Structure 1
Amino acid sequence: MSEESAINQAAKELGALLKAKRTEKNIAIGEVAERLKFSAKQIESLESGDYKGLPEPIFVKGFIKTYGRFLGLDAEQITPFLNEVFPSQVTAAPAAPVAETRDSLNFQDQKKSKSFPKWLPLVVVVAAVVGAVYLWQSKSSEQTRQQEKSTLEVGDVAQPQLATDNVQVVPMKASATTAATASASVGASAPAAASAVAADGSIQIKIRYRSNLIVTDADGTPLHSGIVASNSTHQFKGKAPYQVRIGYATGSEISFNGQVIDIKNHFVDGKTAALTVPQP
């Protein structure tokens, strides 16, 4: 087996180990990306052992170590694979000091000055790379926090209450009988509409990720307004229809009286969902 084939095989085995540990802990790739501030595509590349779309090898090595610590893997489980996948990153241990001999003296029997250690520049380079990785991750975390803050601020915007009054247009020259018939029709439909608005109903909302949640009933009474935890379930019972707004709605579910409502078509900006429950 060639050296390149051995490296590819070791990378695939390391990726399989990471994926198996994540699956064992029942953690989704999206949650890993959110916690580690990596993209889902980067996580998939690490688990497949294909690093073509990732940064320099030393950065990839740092990603794998961070991912392994997140999954609870010991360094002893990962280090052998890293040494095989990144052989150029393995630093040889400095040789043990030897006893001073006659060769260390010059022709005047004076001690020769010690040469500059060859491994010291490599240590400086490694330290610089580690610092760059730390700064990169800090910058990525700050950008993510700003994005979440922006999303929550969008979710805090109250939904406008739209008027749904029935309007009957009667021509000016219409007969008295026609006008009376139109008025009776409007009067008959009004109680039915009021009855539909005032109907009782139970709404259940399952939140996948930490998000802002706003729920109001048919009277405009706020049932909830604020941040809720990830993987939490919230149930409300009052007058339907409800106005629901979820700041980060990806993976969330809504059901009314036990019937699941599809929220995929109610995203307003790719992340925030706003809808009326039940649907008219």
Structure 2
Amino acid sequence: MSENSVQTEEGSDASTVCPPTVGSRLRSAREAKGLSISDVAETLKLGAGQVEALENNHWQALPGLTFIRGFVRNYGRLVGLDPEQLMQELKATLDIKRPDLVLPESTHVAMPEPAGRVQKRDYALPSLGLVLVILAVLIYFLLPDDLSRLRSGVDSILQSLQGVLKPLEPPMSPTRPAAHVNGEQPALPPGSTVNQVLAPDTTEPSVEMPLSAEAGQVAPSSVNAPVRLSFTEDSWVEVRDRNGNVLFSQIGVAGNDKAIDGSPPFSLVIGNAKGVKVIHRGVAVDLTPYLRGDVARLSLE
């Protein structure tokens, strides 16, 4: 075998063992189109770190599975890749990373027998007795009347099974003792009928529920927050405090509001800025001077 054929086989083995990942395919397609990471980040309204995490398959650094799918789908469309094929490869990649916990075949744990199983065995004999009683009753009523001997035998079976069927009787619930029965009932009041005495009082007592003092009030924490975001369209926003800590980084859904509290100054990066209204200490902020395309970058004291 020649050296060239050996190298060819080694190259084919390497390509078989290490297929291109979702992130590497996105990176190769981006480089083929001559786009930089910042170009992709600005177009997709993402941070540069998030684009790098996508290309390096660092899924744990991204917000969540739903956002990962959206990021990969939009990235694939931008660089001309098939989004559906990327979704299948992404699903296979994420499924492989989920650990499967399998116990060894030799593992056997002896569990104590539940007490309920013993009770079921105790009721097996009464259940059998109940079946015999039913059969005896059927024989008693279905056979001709002249079989008096058989009927007498059925009567003896019924008497012998009375003691066996006692465990089947349900326990008496601790209810209120019945009113006077069998001659001990008190006399009805003059002029009243049985229906009047036994009719239950169906009138429900009216209960006035106090109105909550907090109804309609806005939570103090959201009112006192120095920065509030109001989303009229779906937009991605990232907010950091003066120490660079991320206070908010996700896609805001249209119709929702978000209150941001922390240590100023606040650094904001807003994608699709036309769909976000920023209120700083009660005053609406004009994002026009901070726009670069659809992305606004600003700092608020």
- What is the TM-score normalised by the length of structure 2? 0.27
Compare CA radii of gyration and give the structure with the larger one: 2
